[in-house]
């Protein structure tokens, strides 16, 4: 992210993006909630990547430099919150669970962003209340700083289906499995299996957003069988991967570099 743009006010609106479209690196003076009611959204910051399907939203604190990318035809809902309205109380991006009520509140609030009626003010108050109690989800894929981990993680990001053990990968990059295990805990606060599972789930969401069949997705992401993939996916997201195979939105998505 070379060019960082400063957009002081975080917008509140609904925006459509075609698959693969990007919003370049920028920051706001406000907090922001980003929710994709269709497609899958990824948000990248200096500390890693967050990916959210339609059962999740992403909290982006004020001042965070971040970029967006659409996977599948994306319908994105943006909720800007002044720094005085801080229902989350966290200083780093976080994935939030979105239940049926919170989903409908976000959709309704972003449908008419210029409405300043008392009814909308009450809607906002309920939205903030629901954000306060929304569970946080551990769906962050952190980026390593240690050079040896950068090499290893780069290999796996290029091919999430790579099933080599940590010992085998270590031989490839010239590091012992003991050293790499220690670095994963010290640098990323995760074990190697935890990080690889997160990577595979993130990649699976991207493939499913492009309507890749579930069995193909499972194999490309390194699971031994479709049933094993479905089990991990359901335990993580609360629904099966088949729920992501939905028709594309009839509206015309906008192109890249929107904000």
Q: Within a domain: residue 252? A: no
- For range 51-56, the mean pLDDT: 85
Give me the helix-helix angle, 147-158 and 166-173, nearest 10°: 110
- For range 121-127, the mean pLDDT: 93
Number of domains forming the structure of the chain:
2
Q: What is the pLDDT of residues 224-247, one digit of tens each?
A: 999 999 999 988 887 888 776 554
pLDDT band at 252 (very low <50, low <70, confident <90, very high): very low
Please tell me whether residues 77 and 111 are part of one structural domain.
yes
pLDDT at 139 exceeding the cut of 90: no
Q: Within a domain: residue 145? A: yes
Distance CA 33, CA 83 (A): 12
The DSSP line for 13-55 is: EEEEE-TT-EEEEEE-SSEEEEEEEEEEEEEEETTEEEEE-TT
Helix (H, G, I), strand (E, B) or coil at 104: helix
Q: Measuring CA to CA, how many Å separate 10 from each of 31, 60, 62, 73?
A: 7, 10, 9, 22
Q: Within a domain: residue 148? A: yes
| Chain CA centroid to CA 26, Å | 17
Please report, for the domain that includes residue 82, its CATH number: 2.60.120.810
Which residue's entry shows tokens 């999740």?
56
pLDDT band at 1 (very low <50, low <70, confident <90, very high): very low
Q: What is the pLDDT of residues 71-122, one digit of tens each?
A: 988 999 999 999 888 888 888 888 898 999 999 999 999 988 778 899 999 9
pLDDT value of residue 248:
42
Q: Enter the tokens of residue 53.
A: 């399907």
pLDDT at 200 exceeding the cut of 70: yes
Nearest CA to 129 out of 110, 101, 108 is that of 101
Q: What is the dihedral of CA 50, 51, 54, 56, to 10 degrees?
A: -30
pLDDT value of residue 209:
86
Give the rounded percent of residues in the chain with a pLDDT score beyond 70: 92
Q: Within a domain: residue 205? A: yes
pLDDT at 142 exceeding the cut of 50: yes
Judged on CB neighbours under 10 Å (0-12, 13-18, 19+), 169 is: buried
Please tell me whether residues 73 and 151 are part of one structural domain.
no
pLDDT value of residue 91:
84
Distance CA 90, CA 92 (A): 6
Of 120, 140, 160, the residue that ends a domain is 140
pLDDT at 2 exceeding the cut of 90: no
β-bridge mates for residue 188, sequence order: none
Q: Enter the tokens of residue 251.
A: 């509206």
- For range 207-231, the mean pLDDT: 93
Model pTM above 0.75 = yes
pLDDT value of residue 258:
41
Q: What is the mean pLDDT of the chain?
A: 88
Q: Give every CB contact of residue 216 below 8 A, 6+ residues apart in sequence.
A: 207
Please report, for the domain that includes residue 181, its CATH number: 1.10.10.60
Task: For residue 130, give its domain range.
Answer: 5-140
Of 75, 105, 140, the residue that ends a domain is 140
């Amino acid at each position: 992210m070379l060019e960082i743009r400063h957009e002081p006010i975080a917008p509140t609106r609904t925006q459509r993006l075609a698959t693969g479209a990007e919003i370049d690196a920028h920051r706001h003076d406000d907090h922001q909630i980003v929710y994709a009611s269709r497609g899958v959204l990824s948000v990248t910051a200096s500390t890693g990547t967050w990916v959210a399907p339609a059962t999740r939203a992403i909290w982006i604190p004020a001042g965070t430099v971040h970029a967006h990318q659409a996977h599948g035809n994306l319908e994105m809902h943006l909720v800007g919150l002044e720094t005085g309205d801080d229902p989350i109380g966290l200083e780093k991006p976080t994935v939030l669970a979105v239940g049926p009520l919170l989903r409908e509140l976000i959709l309704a609030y972003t449908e008419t962003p210029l409405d300043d009626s008392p009814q909308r003010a009450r809607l906002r108050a309920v939205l903030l209340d629901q954000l306060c109690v929304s569970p946080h989800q551990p769906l962050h894929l952190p980026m390593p700083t240690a050079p040896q981990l950068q090499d290893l993680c780069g290999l796996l990001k290029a091919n999430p289906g790579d099933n080599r053990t940590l010992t085998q990968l270590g031989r490839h990059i010239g590091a012992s499995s003991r050293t790499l295990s220690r670095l994963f805990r010290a640098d990323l606060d995760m074990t190697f299996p935890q990080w690889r599972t997160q990577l595979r789930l993130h990649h699976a969401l991207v493939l499913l957003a492009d309507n890749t069949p579930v069995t193909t997705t499972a194999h490309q992401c390194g699971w031994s069988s479709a049933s094993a993939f479905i089990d991990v996916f359901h335990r993580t997201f609360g629904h099966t991967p088949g729920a992501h195979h939905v028709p594309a939105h009839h509206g015309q998505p906008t192109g890249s570099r929107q904000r």
